[in-house]
Structure 1
Amino acid sequence: MAPTDPVLLLTRPEHRSRAFVEICRTRGFAGPVIIDPIIEIVPCPLDMPLDDVPGLILTSTSAVEAVAGHDLRGRRAWAVGERTTQAARAAGMECSFGGADANALVAHLSRERPGGPLLHLRGRHARGDVAERLAAAGVPTHSVVVYDQRDRALGPAAREALDGPNPVILPLFSPRSAALVAGQVGEVRAPLEVVAMSDAVASAWTGSGRLQVAGMPTAAAMAEEVERICDG
């Protein structure tokens, strides 16, 4: 590794980090990559049947993966983001793209007003109050926790990079991961470029470094920011 090669430090779950690396590679990123998830996704037992639920709301691919053992073929669903929409369709659901973020999804369903009640499959740590806001808008919606997001400590490779001489590019995809990483790293020696997926993620970052927000809350827009940083 040359003294000025930027290091891409990814703290998403392993498979999502690898998918993001592939996007960055297609855009020309050739530098070293460290994958060190700050959160472990753990499915939670679902103590209710999904057979009679008219429609599902999915705000992450983790929710789709958590209910993989249920037969949801043909089930009506609405999802946040293209990747979650595609994952739900791959699982056999009749899933519509509801928007790029939770606010867009709530606005979309408030206009569409599908027959309910709807069920939001979510993580234990969730933002956006999707079910509550939809219910207040007249769309009966409940929520159930289908996965947990457990904190993890950053490993030695990540800490070594942050204390080293090379620039580090740190994409952050959720407010919780931003807060967790900031709480663990404090001040760093490496020149640090933080890329936040949204304003909410940026607000949760309390660490050092130069902070920028992606133009859209998508992996493609995040990869575009990585490319822009590398191009100087």
Structure 2
Amino acid sequence: MARGGVFSLYRWPAAATTWGDTGQQGGRGVTGLTVLLTRPDAQSRRFAARVLDRIGTEPRIVIAPLMRIDPVAPLPELLPGDVPVFTSENGVESYARLGGRGGGTAWCVGPRTAAAARRLGFDVAEGPGDLAGLAVAIAAEGAGAGRIVHLHGTHVAGDLAGMLRAAGRPADEAAIYDQRALPLSREARMVLAGTDRVLVPLFSARSARLLAPGLNRAQADLRIAAISPAVAGALPLQSGAKIAVAARPDAEAVLDVLAELAENAGFLEGRHGAG
């Protein structure tokens, strides 16, 4: 595998969960830079490529998923005129794995979910990236635009269907996948017990809650990049981690935070803001 330069996702061995070595730079008492990724495996691997491209140095990347996505059969019946809503890539991928087909209109919470739905053949209406904003956008269509069916996981951060019904829009929901909790890996526990500056991007409140026991016992110099205030609020106050919240609820804004955290620690040279 090439060392340095832009990381290529396609060169990451399928079984590998760690890439790179710690350096000897950064603040006093900090021996290196590690990025700990806790999203489901496929999403973590995609994000790893973006992290290394953006930061432009050789941080150690440790992939330690805290959840596994398992589709839950069967799919609900979608009647003519029904409009599915997806609030994550996992929803789109699980819908496809359960035999769902594209075609017609689908609402999606943000750009990455929208891209997945377009690949499946949907004509996508895209929301602003957060659940409340998505509810406002869908409700603005009016009650005559068809029944909304929110296809989500067994663990959800908000009641989209309830918000839409309160706004007068016919809406229903169905859980089509489960986010099964996984234990924190040995590699991740070693990272948290070490002396590196550790950057941890977090994309959901459930991920934050699952990581919390490990944070409470951590000795590393922790920096959390939370995608939203709700995710930041799910973290334990006693962990001692410093928390920064992304300016927007999307992956690019989380990358902005990671780049700033790396730069402030002396690990990023002249590349802050490069995309």
- With normalisation by structure 2, the TM-score equals 0.81
Q: Is the 8 A contact 2:75 2:95 kept in 1?
A: no
1:195 maps to which of 199, 220, 225: 225
Which residue of 2 is the match for residue 26 of structure 1?
Answer: 53
Residues 140 and 29 of structure 1: CA distance in aligned 2, closer, same or farther (over 3 Å): farther
For residue 39 of structure 2, what is the aligned residue in structure 1?
12
1:136-175 to structure 2, matched below 5 A, reads 136-175=166-205
AA of the residue aligned to 2:23 = A
Q: For the residues of structure 2 that align with 1:75 and 1:30, how far apart are their CA atoms?
A: 44
- Aligned 8 A contact 2:94 2:176 in 1: yes
Q: Contact 2:23/2:59 (CA < 8 Å) preserved in 1?
A: no
Is there any run of 5+ residues in structure 2 with no aligned partner, and where?
1-21, 25-30, 265-275
Could you tell me how far apart the structure 2 residues matched to 1:71 and 1:181 are?
33
SS of 1:99's equivalent in the other structure is coil
In 1, are the aligned partners of 2:76 and 2:174 still within 8 Å (CA)?
no
> Secondary structure at the residue paired with 2:101?
coil
Q: 1:111 aligns with which of 140, 147, 162?
A: 140
Contact 2:199–2:222 (CA under 8 A) maintained in structure 1: yes
Per-residue deviation, 1:220: 0.7
Rg larger for: 2
Q: Is the 8 A contact 2:75 2:176 kept in 1?
A: no
Residue aligning to 1:36: 64
Helix, strand or coil for the counterpart of 1:67?
helix
- Secondary structure of 2:161's partner? helix
Relative to the length of structure 1, the TM-score reads 0.95
Q: How far apart, CA to CA, are the structure 2 residues paired with 1:29 and 1:171? A: 17
Q: How many residues align?
A: 232
85, 91, 104: which one pairs with 1:57?
85
What SS does structure 1 have at the residue aligned with 2:145?
coil
**Which is bigger in relative contact order (C-alpha 8 A, separation at least 6)?**
1
Contact 1:23 1:220 in 2 (8 A): no
Match for residue 125 of structure 1? Answer: 155
Instruction: Say whether the 8 Å CA contact 1:110–1:138 is kept in structure 2.
Output: yes
2: CA distance, partners of 1:43 / 1:71: 12
Residue 67 in 1 paired to residue 95 in 2?
Answer: yes
Root-mean-square deviation (CA, aligned residues, Å) is 1.4
Residue equivalent to 1:229:
261
Asked whether the 8 Å contact 1:121–1:146 carries over to 2, the reply is yes
**Alignment-derived partner of residue 88 in structure 1:** 117
Q: Which whole-Å CA distance do the structure 1 matches of 2:196 and 2:253 have between them?
A: 24
Partner of 2:23: 2
What is the distance in 1 between the residues matched to 2:79 and 2:170?
17
Q: After TM superposition, where is structure 1 displaced by more than 3 Å over at least 4 residues in a row?
A: none
Is the CA contact (8 Å cut-off) linking 1:79 and 1:99 kept in structure 2?
no
Give a deviation string over 1:114-148, Cα, whole Å, max 9, x none. 61211000100002210001011011000000000
CA positional deviation for 1:184: 3.6
Asked if structure 2 preserves the Cα contact closer than 8 Å seen for 1:124 and 1:148, the reply is yes
SS at match of 1:112: coil
Contact in 1 for aligned 2:109/2:134 (Cα 8 Å): yes
Please report how far the alpha carbon of residue 70 of structure 1 lies from its aligned counterpart in structure 2 after TM superposition: 3.1
